[in-house]
Amino acid sequence: MLPERSGIERLRHTLACWAQEPQRLALLGDRNTLTYSELLAAIEARESWLRQHAIRVAALALDNGPDALIWDLALLLSGIPVVTLAPFFSAEQRRHCLDSCAVDCLIGDGVPSFELSAAGFHHDRGAWWRTPAGEVSLPKGTAKVTYTSGTTGRPRGVCLVAEQLLKVAGALEGATREAASKRHLVLMPLGVLLENLGAYAALLSGAEVILPGSTTLGLKGATGVEWPRLLQVVHRTRPESLILVPQLLGGVLTAMEQGLIDARTFRFMAVGGAPVAESLLERAKALALPLYQGYGLSECASVICLNVPGANRPGSVGRPLPHIRLRLSASGEVEVAGSQFAGYLGEAPMTDEWLKTGDLGAFDDEGYLFLHGRLKHQFITGFGRNVDPGWIEAELTQGGPIAQAYVQGEGASHNAALIVPATAECSDSEIAATIAATNHRLPDYARVGVWHRLDEPFTPTNGLLTATGRLRRAAIQARYDGLIISLLQSSEVVS
């Protein structure tokens, strides 16, 4: 019996098999198109370039397009650890990513040159180079470092191995094979792991992967969308599959309901990254849309559960992928095994087989997982970004006219803040100026989009503050639930 191929070997073999069909299209960008044969040649050319340089850890800072995916695949196949810088990170977060990984080569023009110069890089041979101050301390076997969006100001590096990444991609390809989608449109940045793995799965299936740039799509940062541009791309390219976060799903559904997009062209649409409102699922059902909800974690190389054709339970996040095992703790927390990552950057190696997710859930009789919230207070925006509200609240209350702040943004396109002024004399314009200055320091997914001034402070007496000065978040949410909902649904967002 022949030994089983590794994930890397299977990927290379699969691409080579598709390349035997000379006219089969692989990548479609704004300005260029590649067949599978041309894709394989482009990957091999970049692998040759990478071998010529003693690169220890690389970073990619490229806008979506064929070139971004080709470099990503070349680095994966070359065995060089890579971090892809998300376009919505702030300058401080980008610097943290580069320094904590000890990146010595950055490919792309997505980071301002003055930032790179300040970080010790110089431009030469088509890339940015430096000799890092510290030694590379990535866990053994690290192929990709994906940074969380930052539940605090500094993103946390999750170190993933190639076998883990490609196991998920292969499972996704197998789970969606019945849909037989042959044109996959990439909407989110490839720095988002969910979209990155979706592109791998599409290539494994021999599909055409459509990769418009962010300007073409009208995407700005983590939350900004110029809907006419995005809808024009969807209408023009007529994809059969998409990966969406809830906020993008809402806009696409509205366009379908208005007849701007033909829902019948789609064979598979995945939604995840954040809680999906029941109203969105009902609207998708009314359109007979092939929408399938899933669930994942960066530590597990993204997807761990997914509804699929023939096994779809609306309202659930699906059943575990074949290589995944799930269980619930005594408190109802979802724990996962079967997709071990290399560890967190700069932290002790993971030794427990079971990873705690921080999510509360329950299984039905047929093994579908239903999620019921999070153990901690961090929320997930409608664009799938994890945010610790305490970070934003601390930024807002660093002296000045704001004494207390409560921030919420669960499942929404913008964050809302309840503001307690330092004194009754503080004007609304002073508060607005402080919020604007704070927003300028924060990445766009953490900014306050709408706020409301409270007349009553949070105190131990009214049950909204602990004796040690911590916000009683559940009590505040319950007290102001109606107001918070109206703020999160408001269209009058701070620019």
Question: What residue ranges define each of the domains in the chain, with the CATH number in brackets?
Answer: 1-371 (3.40.50.12780), 388-488 (3.30.300.30)
Q: Could you give phi then psi for residue 217, rounded to 5 degrees? A: -80, -20
Q: Write out pLDDT tens, residues 112-168.
A: 999 999 999 999 999 999 998 777 789 989 999 998 755 455 678 999 999 999 999
- 8 Å CB contact between 110 and 89: no
Mean pLDDT of the chain: 91
The DSSP secondary structure of 379-441, one letter per residue, reads EE-TTS-EE-HHHHHHHHTSSSSEEEEEEE-TTSSSEEEEEEESSTT--HHHHHHHHHHHHHH
**Nearest 5 degrees, angle CA 296-CA 302-CA 307?**
50
Quick one: average pLDDT of 48-55? Answer: 94
Single-letter residue type at 251: G
Quick one: average pLDDT of 238-244? Answer: 96
Residue 1's pLDDT band (cuts 50, 70, 90): low
What is the enclosing helix (H) or strand (E) of 128? Answer: strand 127-129
In 3D, which of 184, 236, 173 has the Cα closest to residue 208?
184
Give the bridge partners for 451, in sequence order: 417
CA atoms within 13 Å, Cβ hemisphere of 31: 5
Quick one: average pLDDT of 37-48? Answer: 98
Q: Write out pLDDT tens, residues 283-294.
A: 999 999 999 999
Q: Write out pLDDT tens, residues 216-233.
A: 999 887 667 899 999 999
Single-letter residue type at 482: G
CA distance 201 to 186: 12
| Dihedral angle of Cα 105, 109, 110, 112, to the nearest 10 degrees | 90
Indicate if the pLDDT at residue 399 is higher than 80: no
Tokens 């094979």, located at residue: 177
Q: What is the pLDDT of residue 242?
A: 95
Q: What is the pLDDT of residue 218?
A: 94
Structure tokens at 292: 């399938």
- 8 Å CB contact between 345 and 101: yes
Comparing 400 with 269, the larger pLDDT belongs to 269
Quick one: average pLDDT of 334-345? Answer: 92
Q: How far is CA 302 from the centre of its chain?
A: 9
